[in-house]
Amino acid sequence: MKIGILTSGGDCPGLNAVIRGFAKYVFNEIKDAELIGISDGYLGLINKDVKKMKPSDFSGILNVGGTILGTSRQPFKSMTDEDRNGQSKLDMMKKNYNALGLDLLVTLGGAGTHKTAALLSSVGLNVIGIPKTIDNDIYGTDVTFGFHTAVDIATECIDRIHTTAASHGRTMLIEIMGNKVGWLTLYAGIAGGADIILLPEIP
């Protein structure tokens, strides 16, 4: 079995840990499996920038930030746009998937990554999407990896702002990212003792 793996979109905590866990499963449980690392997300699949991975490639990466595979953003909206040769990024990815002889593509990413994964699946590719985002905004998942670390860091920042607010007698307004959802704001706000928490889900 030949499996391709890529990370796409923004990096977040836990990417290398998940890559390592998946690789350990593949090498230990699937006889004669090959794992093909695809560089820089979907860009690597478009350009056929790949390398055969071996077990030693995944050693010592458990607590390393970022992603050993590299990542990039490839907007979902442009995946079916044709170039002057009449080829789209979707066409090139499907062509390279087949040229590499892949049986499966594993994608680690957020909402945009999963939209593209669904598009690849719709044209006949076997795809498994692993939900990665600090925003925790992927349908069908309770918690995405990267979310809890983001909550911890945001809470620590809020904790530090308390003393400045008290020293100066100020009210602090803290903005936390989260795309279009308030999970990160809600969790960090509660953990950090916010008096008021404003969420996009509640006008």
Catalytic residues: 135
> CB-based contacts of 101: which residues, under 8 Å, 6+ apart?
2
Q: State the DSSP code for 78.
A: G
- Label residues 61-79 b or e (16+ Cβ within 10 Å = b): beeeeebbbbbbebebeeb
**Distance of alpha carbon 105 from alpha carbon 116, whole angstroms:** 12
> CB-based contacts of 81: which residues, under 8 Å, 6+ apart?
88, 89
